A and B are shown apart, each in its own frame.
Chain A
Amino acid sequence: MQGYNFAYLDEQTKRMIRRAILKAVAIPGHQVPFAGREMPLPYGWGTGGIQVTAAILGAEDVLKVIDQGADDTTNAVSIRSFFARTAGVRTTTSTAEASVIQTRHRIPERQLRGDQIIVYQVPIPEPLFRLEPSRAAARRMHAMSDYGPMQVKLYEDITRFGRVAVAYDHPVLVNCRYLMSPSPIPAFDNPKLHRMAALQLFGAGREKRIYAVPPYTDVVSLDFEDRPFEPVRAPARCALCGADDTYLDEMVTDDRGGRLFACSDTDHCAAILAGTA
């Protein structure tokens, strides 16, 4: 595409972002600041994820972009065609075929491989955000492994609601050291982070932070010994493919209360139907 560098960002910016990524990979779960650039999307629309993807994309890569599991929503389509135009890379909706997967708020159902990279779009990178409004104090807490308050919050959830109430963005401890926000993925997806074969990169554009989980890293959801973390899904089968072990979207079908559940991961659902999952 004329007038723009490969994947939109200039090479110096990509180097800066890659340096941040390297630091992030070296310290799993630790938030690394980076000098975020102005992107042709506003904050809150995935600028962090886009910058990470732009920095790592090569001409031979195959890119998949999903938004809450679907390849065909507006945002997923926009971002996918953005990279198609500015980088000229092949794009796909198939998880199996992709080498880089940029995602908003879900992890694909299909297990990822060691030759794949998943890039998460993150709104708020700081897991202590609500407990400790001061950023300086929060940084000290991470430095000193002072995570008691987060455990207290879980205690409160159990006390008030009988279970941990966070349905998404359940905090995790990475590599037995850093408390991390896995981005607003449903709690159902948390187990997938643990010892994933693929490299996981997280980009927050508005907050200008990058963090990472290298392959085969321990990622444990916070819980209590006697109240273990339990992933939650709707107790139903996918109305399209019949799967009972995938994360489901609930869809309202009419104005008389009709609803159906369908797999949130559209590619996976299609694969099951085609018999190729």
Chain B
Amino acid sequence: MIAADGLDKTFTLHLRGGVRLPVLRDAGITVRSGECVALAGPSGAGKSTLLRALYGNYRVDRGTILIRRDPATPNASMIDLARATAETIIALRRDALGYVSQFLRAMPRVASRDIVAETLLVRGIDPHEAHRRAAAMLERLGIAPRLHDLPPATFSGGEQQRVNLARSFVAPWPILLLDEPTASLDAANRDIVVDLINDAKAAGTAIVGILHDTASRDRIADRILSLAPVADQPAMPERANLESA
């Protein structure tokens, strides 16, 4: 579902006199349908950068990011996200490529149920049905019905993150990218999220996740991809990233 290869990414900070920060060098990752790969490594290793590059949020300087929309058609051509048009990426993000950020970016005035329902509405699901499923997902994540009509701006950090999670898990995705999905949650909610992730895997979703919470990580990850900061990497042309089962 994902086959990324040869990725280079260097940030040039013009506001700091053009200082160059190489974060990815010759990075790559492959993920199959129903598989979960966890990114591991020290801070600054490029985990977040790689994840964002897979979403098209960060632009890579070199390399290819091949994405397959539909696991059922293995012969269909894959799209190279690194070279795709904005239109293509937007279409992919609508129903093929999902991203769960670490924090909810709260839109002012929009009720939590509407935030969650939006994912379904843009796919053309009937509004009544969309709101029903949204409410159900919110409840599963422990957001009480009396909060459904409220905008999440006044919610606690944990509640906001659960709305954020609901927004992604309310719909099926071929590919899901998770950036610290359980960071602000208590143990009980972490379990619920682990279940949701495993359900998605069972449904065929390919998942890439960053989790510092090693307990949860071990319950969902099929493989761990360890990244090392570019400065520490040997300057050899072979792949600098290690894979371990």
Determine direct contact between A and B, CB below 8 Å: no
Which residues of A come within 8 Å of B, CB atoms? none
Which residues of B come within 8 Å of A, CB atoms? none
